Structure 1
Amino acid sequence: MRTIRCKNYEEMSRRAADVIAAQLILDPKTVLGLATGTTPVGCYQRLIELNREGAIDFSEVSTYNLDEYRGLTHDDPQSYHYFMADQLFNHVNIKAANTHVPDGSNPDAASACAEYDHMVENAGYVDLQLLGIGNNGHIGFNEPCSDFPVGTHCVDLTESTIRANSRLFEREEDVPRQAYTMGVGTIMKARRVLVLASGEAKADAVRAMCYGPVEPGCPASALRLHPDCIVIADEAALSKCPEGL
């Protein structure tokens, strides 16, 4: 695990976009794993700028998102389908058919998860997986639990995750209580993993990921076993890690 320390969110976003841009230049047919939430928004904005400038091309790129709320239709403004279209896909030259998000509108969890696993496997898995990290150490919607989930599955969201995500809803009661998410095993099959973290609220989780035991109580800790994982974090998120990091 390699760590890049940044001064602030803006620098973190630029550095992350640089890594992704380099990947697209080296391999125009890259399979990208993407994340939602507020953390990657600055990175996506920079990728949009680079695409408009002609520095990077999404025309042959395919994407697979980590997760989706169970029970939301694709056009629901709170869905991750909608988020990705609004924050990235509608602003770059990517083909809609090449973008993939778990089907939260499918009430059959087993079917929805198996279908998504099949899609990711057929794509040859992800070349570069972008991740955030939750306050409790979750990646995707893989919450702290007794083991590391392997494939896509339906998860009950913890109260801490519901509270953290409620900032994006009118009321906390509106936050869905379940989601479909790639498993840790699928994430670990990505050839490179890029983890973004910003803000003091993430400091405990970042320290646990980088220095705590590798155990499912902190799902992100599994990334220490990945052969090519880069953490890009600002000073606030790294405030509980050694200064030399």
Structure 2
Amino acid sequence: MTADLDMRIYPDREQLGAAAAADIAEELRAVLGSQTSARMIFASAPSQGETLAALAEEPGIDWSKVTAFHMDEYLGLPQDAPQKFATWLREAFFDRVPMGAVHYIDADGPETESADAYAALLQESPSDIVCLGIGVNGHIAFNDPPVADFNDPAAVKIVELDEKSRVQQVQDGLFATVDDVPKRAITLTVPSLLSGKRLFCMVPGALKADALRATASEPVSTAWPSTILRTHPRCTVYADEEAASLLTTESE
């Protein structure tokens, strides 16, 4: 079954981040009010920066009861590379709140073993909250159109990165040139992301305008992997006016 996206549009990135963080915090408080712990999955990208900064300031959350995962990690970068997603998330969020546990993808060990080990950790218990974004080609995590599989039997897998994804990393200011961007990564698969009980998707910036348009209106298919978000019963998308600039309504 597909449905219209639950879309919230804000004037700028800061207001988007504040609104998304407030909603994520409300959901997390509710989860921790009804069970002893919570499990969250986080995207690692500048698009998430404002939301994570605001979330770190939200009161009344016992972060010691939260176990965190991240969605993807490059393969082939030096261990101390600042572009590693684990490093970005640690600096942007995990060092700012007293997390109960953070599980990082081991991109430096044997690849298949690392993917299998992360999948085993992820599948120990359901994910309560997933905080994600959408790539310029509609990817969610690193499920680019050439490798996305809505019925993927794996929970975590090794992928070749689409050229548009690699260019986006340069556009985001994370690498100087496309040649510097790794060509392979470990990623959570689409079923892993959609297994989350509650999804919050933050999509700011003009670079994401066509991807957001496609997410809302293109047929649900791996041509635009993010269209699958329309099948999730509890997914909210937060966009700023730049990202929403190509959206239309039936009344227009």
The CA deviation at 1:147 is 5.2
The structure 1 residue matched to 2:204, chosen from 190, 198, 202, is: 198
Structure 1 residue aligned with 2:22: 18
5 Å-filtered alignment, 1:136-155, equals 136-145=137-146, 148=149, 150=152, 151-155=155-159
Q: CA 1:236/1:243 → structure 2, altered by over 3 Å: closer, same or farther?
A: farther
| Whole-angstrom distance in 1 between the partners of 2:98 and 2:104 | 18
Deviation string, structure 1 residues 196-217 (Cα, Å, up to 9, x no partner): 1111211111111111001011
Q: CA 1:173/1:2 → structure 2, altered by over 3 Å: closer, same or farther?
A: same
Structure 2 residue 161 is matched with structure 1 residue 160: no
Query: Once superposed, what is the RMSD of the aligned Cα atoms?
Result: 1.8
The structure 2 residue matched to 1:104, chosen from 102, 107, 111, is: 107
5 Å-filtered alignment, 1:210-221, equals 210-221=216-227
Counterpart of 1:159, as a letter, is E
Structure 1 residue aligned with 2:195: 189
Q: Secondary structure at the match of 2:243?
A: coil
Counterpart of 1:14, as a letter, is A
- Tell me, yes or no, if the aligned pair for 1:146 and 1:217 is still in contact at 8 Å: no
Gaps of 5+ in 1: none
Structure 1 residue aligned with 2:82: 77
| Whole-angstrom distance in 1 between the partners of 2:126 and 2:85 | 20
Counterpart of 2:163, as a letter, is E
- Tell me, yes or no, if the aligned pair for 1:198 and 1:233 is still in contact at 8 Å: yes
Q: Secondary structure at the match of 1:91?
A: coil
- Tell me, yes or no, if the aligned pair for 2:148 and 2:189 is still in contact at 8 Å: no
The CA deviation at 1:155 is 1.1
| Whole-angstrom distance in 2 between the partners of 1:165 and 1:215 | 24
Q: Which runs of 4+ in 1 moved over 4 A?
A: none
Structure 1 residue aligned with 2:236: 230
Structure 2 residue 121 is matched with structure 1 residue 128: no
| Whole-angstrom distance in 1 between the partners of 2:146 and 2:177 | 27
- TM-score normalized by the length of structure 2: 0.88
| Whole-angstrom distance in 1 between the partners of 2:20 and 2:160 | 30
Gaps of 5+ in 2: none
Between 1:222-231 and 1:24-33, the stretch displaced more is 24-33
Deviation string, structure 1 residues 177-227 (Cα, Å, up to 9, x no partner): 111000001111111111111112111111111110010111111111111
Counterpart of 1:7, as a letter, is P
Structure 2 residue 48 is matched with structure 1 residue 43: no
Structure 1 residue aligned with 2:39: 31
- Tell me, yes or no, if the aligned pair for 1:66 and 1:101 is still in contact at 8 Å: no
- Identical pairs, percent: 30
Q: Secondary structure at the match of 1:39?
A: helix
- Tell me, yes or no, if the aligned pair for 1:128 and 1:193 is still in contact at 8 Å: yes
The CA deviation at 1:73 is 5.4
| Whole-angstrom distance in 1 between the partners of 2:93 and 2:148 | 33
| Whole-angstrom distance in 2 between the partners of 1:180 and 1:186 | 13
Q: CA 1:9/1:125 → structure 2, altered by over 3 Å: closer, same or farther?
A: same
| Whole-angstrom distance in 1 between the partners of 2:9 and 2:18 | 12
Structure 2 residue 97 is matched with structure 1 residue 92: yes
The CA deviation at 1:20 is 1.4
- TM-score normalized by the length of structure 1: 0.91
| Whole-angstrom distance in 2 between the partners of 1:64 and 1:201 | 26
- Tell me, yes or no, if the aligned pair for 1:65 and 1:100 is still in contact at 8 Å: yes
| Whole-angstrom distance in 1 between the partners of 2:168 and 2:137 | 10
Counterpart of 1:84, as a letter, is L
The CA deviation at 1:125 is 2.5
Structure 1 residue aligned with 2:6: 2
| Whole-angstrom distance in 1 between the partners of 2:236 and 2:217 | 15
Between 1:64-73 and 1:2-11, the stretch displaced more is 64-73
